[in-house]
Amino acid sequence: MAGGAVGRPSPVPGIPDVAAVFYEHTDPGAGRESGLSQRAISDSRSDSVPWSLGAWEDSWTPAEHAAAVRAVHAAIARGDVYQVNVVGHASAPYTGDPGPSLQRVTELPGARYGGLLAGAGWAIATASPETLVEVRAGRVVTRPIKGTRPATAQGRRELLGSAKERAEHIMIVDLERNDLSRLPGVGPVRVDELFAVRRWSGLWQAESEVSAPIEGGLGLAELLRAVCPGGSVTGAPKLAALDLIAGIEPVGRGAGMGALGWVGTDHVDLGLTIRTVAATDGRVHLWAGGGITWDSDPDAEVAEAAAKAAPIRRALAAG
């Protein structure tokens, strides 16, 4: 985001900041693809080596993660921020072809943006449930997700009844309303759905829908400048949250917390790259975290991040 602090270096510097696959439609039944090749990142040597995933190495300890939560508490007490999304990173070595394991990640239940993007020596697999931005039928839409509980009957009741989760969620909805209102050529912003509980893998998550009609000219660059990075993975106010994130997170977010999706001549549909894994140079990388407010418990936040990462770790570990 323009004006935001620059975070720590990415743990996956070999993955480009922007990658695209271009499709040109010509005659019916014929087409030509150019640009980035969506091929497996394995080579002839790895094809004959069985898939094996090594031990995970976290970029911070649970105690360091909890200390970051307390640092956000201190910033809230000073009046610097209202909420900050704190994200941790972990990586593990692998041998063999990562393709089948990455594909399993994309097939996790609730993955609205399940997909795989690969280039020369790298790949990104996502099971994201969250819409960063969609443009279709004359409206621009974002669907922030904030609030998590285990996918049980009790977990659903707890999420619906949690004043802390609802307050945190509404802060992000207000932030997204502000982001859309700054777009040129859009009309009044409205909240179409608030705090709807939906399931992703083994978790309940709260989602809202915020939209505005497109009434004038709106370019892709203007759209991305307004919504990136997503409010649900930064905080409020967004610039102040980015300043704090740059100082307390152990490594950069790399391919995590960005966007992956489709841009067409008449629509845009980009998912936020949460629940996402990157593979390059013989290691897989993932990111997980959560939004921190004044009422957040440090130990509970550490546990929530682990719960979000667990389905991806299991998918990657399967033989």
How remote is the C-alpha of 160 from its chain's centroid?
23
Query: Is residue 164 among the annotated active site residues?
Result: no
In degrees, to the nearest 5, what angle opens at C-alpha 93 toward C-alphas 90 and 99?
Answer: 100
Catalytic residue among 24, 107, 130, 164: 130
In degrees and rounded to multiples of 5, residue 106 shows phi and psi of: -65, -20
Give the residue carrying structure tokens 């994200």. 87
The amino acid at residue 306 is: A
* C-alpha span between 293 and 86 (Å, rounded): 11
Q: Are 148 and 308 in contact (CB under 8 A)?
A: yes
Q: What 3-state class would DSSP assign to 295?
A: coil
Catalytic residue among 146, 165, 207, 209: 146
> 114-119 contacts: CB < 8 A, separation 24 or more?
115/260, 115/261, 115/271, 116/38, 117/19, 117/21, 117/36, 117/38, 117/260, 118/37, 118/38, 118/39, 118/40, 118/41, 119/15, 119/16, 119/19, 119/36, 119/37, 119/41
Q: Are 301 and 293 in contact (CB under 8 A)?
A: no
- The two tokens of residue 93 are 């070595």
Sign for the pseudo-dihedral over CA of 41, 46, 51, 56? negative
Query: Is residue 130 among the annotated active site residues?
Result: yes
Query: Which helix (H) or strand (E) segment is 122 a member of?
Result: strand 122-128
Catalytic residue IDs? 130, 146
